[in-house]
Amino acid sequence: MSVEVLLFDVFGTVVDWRTTLIRQLEQFGRDHRFQADWIALADDWRAAYEPAMKKVRDGERPWTSLELLHRESLDGLLTRHGLSELNDEQRRRLVLFWHFLDPWPDSLQGLERLHRKYILGTLSNGGVRLLADMARYARLPWDVILSSDLFRRYKPDPAVYLGAAELLDTRRDNVMLVAAHNYDLAAARKQGFKTAFVPRPTEYGPRQSRDFKAESDWDYVAADFADLAGRLGA
Amino acid sequence: MSVEVLLFDVFGTVVDWRTTLIRQLEQFGRDHRFQADWIALADDWRAAYEPAMKKVRDGERPWTSLELLHRESLDGLLTRHGLSELNDEQRRRLVLFWHFLDPWPDSLQGLERLHRKYILGTLSNGGVRLLADMARYARLPWDVILSSDLFRRYKPDPAVYLGAAELLDTRRDNVMLVAAHNYDLAAARKQGFKTAFVPRPTEYGPRQSRDFKAESDWDYVAADFADLAGRLGA
């Protein structure tokens, strides 16, 4: 193994978007006296993410940032959730909730250990600004932020993995993707990356239907980031 | 002023490439028993940088990374400096010297202060990998690394400034470029950026012929990064 760079999927792998988003939405409801099923809104909002990106991936619409996809799906959902009176400024605030998500309990300490030995970066479908805001908020020790908007393609488009390796100026098998999602690792391996799976079985809450365990012989399968750091000698 | 992001030119503005490069070359000469005028080699190498980039800027040749430009100009210079016997591995090592440069004495403390208040990033003609290596080596607190190779254009091409503002998802007048070079600030201002000049009058050593002082009414003119932090209330 000559891995010198670890790239991380972010939503779900590094941060617990669901718990954080629900907490932010509930706080927003209390502050502005809106009543709603905030848990269902959070879950529905996330569920809208895949089909929205798919249209971009499949070329049905041109490159569209995750910020705009988040806003579009929110606008649709607010009506269904009895929240159509939210004004533009409030909707903008809700979209920004995705920038400020809490890490899983093991993420920070694991990343700090890994950072001593490896170059660490994101490889996320979030944008540069979202990931920079999140890193400042959560103190994530990224050396580089690599994201969909650099390439104007969403994972698992091969261009994202290939573009990342090119910017890192290294062989693809010197890069390892760390992710809680088997589809992401499969796409990375296909482009020659090393792979590490860390399960996040509560990511989607009761709706979670997959990614409870490794579905292939990934190079590493770790219980959490601390375990991953241990296995990598960091 | 609603500046939320400070982007920094790196070579010369944040790091003292000349002193570091000369020291590394002299050490290399001692280690490998090569005799040469290392100061002249460092200065000649840097002098080759502008004309090499100009060919890419002017469309005389397609996008070429700074790594390759550095290697090409080194290969030409080694012959002139009586060092043609350096092998490929040694030449690669010399090119990597540009990844590991020391900050000016005021850089780190100033950046740490500014980091509390602003998103900090690079906007450099160096590449992502070079800038990531340098940030790890010198502990530069970048939130984002923005660089020529993201856009496949060299500063002062407008695409670099425009592309940076787009990735930062903010109005261009919310971004301030900090640089020791008037040409870079002029190009940034033309695209709507705020501008801050910090003189580095010893950057080029005895050969320095310009940028001793601000040549326009930049938004800020500071003596060094500590002074800049003070003026920006950080």
DSSP letter string over B41-104?
A: HHHHHHHTHHHHHHHHHTTSS----HHHHHHHHHHHHHHHTT-TT--HHHHHHHHHGGGS-PBP
Per-residue pLDDT at B1: 61
Which residues does chain A have within 8 Å of residue B129's beta carbon, measured at their own beta carbons?
A: 167-170
- Note whether B152 and B200 are same-domain residues: yes
> What's A104's DSSP letter?
P
Q: Which of A130, A135, A167 sits opposite B129 (nearest CB)?
A: A167
Q: Which domain holds residue B89?
A: 17-99
- Note whether A31 and A12 are same-domain residues: no
- Note whether A72 and A112 are same-domain residues: no
Domain boundary among A67, A99, A131: A99
Shortest Cα distance, chain B CAs vs residue A141, angstroms: 9
pLDDT band, residue B11 (cuts 50/70/90): very high
**Chain A interface test: which of B112, B129, B139, B152 (most A C-beta within 10 Å):** B129
Contact B91, B105 (CB under 8 A): no
Nearest CA to B170 out of B152, B186, B194, B190 is that of B194
Per-residue pLDDT at B229: 98
- Note whether B223 and B138 are same-domain residues: yes
- Note whether A63 and A114 are same-domain residues: no
A1, pLDDT greater than 80: no
Q: Which of A130, A132, A168 sits opposite B128 (nearest CB)?
A: A168
Shortest Cα distance, chain B CAs vs residue A210, angstroms: 32
Average pLDDT of every residue of chain A: 97
Mean pLDDT of A21-36: 98
Which residues does chain B have within 8 Å of residue A119's beta carbon, measured at their own beta carbons?
A: 132-133, 136
- Note whether B25 and B10 are same-domain residues: no
- Note whether B108 and B215 are same-domain residues: yes
Nearest CA to B184 out of B205, B154, B226 is that of B154
Which residues does chain B have within 8 Å of residue A152's beta carbon, measured at their own beta carbons?
A: none
Which residues does chain B have within 8 Å of residue A174's beta carbon, measured at their own beta carbons?
A: none
- Note whether A139 and A82 are same-domain residues: no
Alpha-carbon distance of B48 to B145, in angstroms, equals: 25
* Three-state DSSP class for residue A34: coil
Shortest Cα distance, chain B CAs vs residue A44, angstroms: 25
Q: Which of A128, A150, A169 sits opposite B129 (nearest CB)?
A: A169
Mean pLDDT of A172-176: 98
Per-residue pLDDT at A183: 98
- Note whether A94 and A113 are same-domain residues: no
pLDDT band, residue B171 (cuts 50/70/90): very high
- Note whether A9 and A117 are same-domain residues: yes
Per-residue pLDDT at A140: 98
Q: Which of A119, A121, A169 sits opposite B127 (nearest CB)?
A: A169
To the nearest 10°, report the CA torsion of B6, A71, A89, A26: -100
Alpha-carbon distance of B227 to B193, in angstroms, equals: 20
* Three-state DSSP class for residue B171: coil
Summarised one tens digit per residue, pLDDT across range A127-152 is 999 999 999 999 999 999 999 999 99
Contact B77, B44 (CB under 8 A): yes
Q: Do A144 and B128 touch (CB under 8 A)?
A: yes
CATH code for the domain in which residue A61 is found: 1.10.150.240
Per-residue pLDDT at B180: 98
Domain boundary among B81, B99, B117: B99
- Note whether B157 and B93 are same-domain residues: no
Q: Chain B residue closest to A128 (CA)?
A: B167
Q: Chain B residue closest to A116 (CA)?
A: B136
- Note whether B223 and B145 are same-domain residues: yes
Shortest Cα distance, chain A CAs vs residue B167, angstroms: 6
Which residues does chain A have within 8 Å of residue B145's beta carbon, measured at their own beta carbons?
A: 143-145
**Chain B interface test: which of A111, A122, A167 (most B C-beta within 10 Å):** A167
Contact B148, B66 (CB under 8 A): yes
Structural domains counted in chain A: 2
CATH code for the domain in which residue B140 is found: 3.40.50.1000
A14, pLDDT greater than 90: yes
* Three-state DSSP class for residue B177: strand
Contact B63, B56 (CB under 8 A): yes
Size (chain B), residues: 234
Burial degree of B210 (CB within 10 A; 0-12, 13-18, 19+):
exposed
**Chain B interface test: which of A66, A71, A112, A128 (most B C-beta within 10 Å):** A128
Q: Do B169 and A65 touch (CB under 8 A)?
A: yes
Strand order across the B144-147 sheet: B144-147, B119-124, B5-8, B175-179, B194-197, B220-221
Shortest Cα distance, chain B CAs vs residue A191, angstroms: 19
Q: Where are the alpha helices (DSSP H) in A33-87?
A: 38-47, 49-57, 66-80
Q: Can you read off the two tokens belonging to residue B134?
A: 């340098």
Summarised one tens digit per residue, pLDDT across range B116-146 is 999 999 999 999 999 999 999 999 999 999 9
Size of interface A-B (CB pairs under 8 A): 54
Q: Do A145 and B144 touch (CB under 8 A)?
A: yes
Domain boundary among B58, B76, B99: B99
Summarised one tens digit per residue, pLDDT across range B40-95 is 999 999 999 999 999 999 999 999 999 999 999 999 999 999 999 999 999 999 99
Shortest Cα distance, chain B CAs vs residue A151, angstroms: 9
Shortest Cα distance, chain B CAs vs residue A147, angstroms: 10
pTM above 0.90, yes or no: yes
Amino acid at B84: S
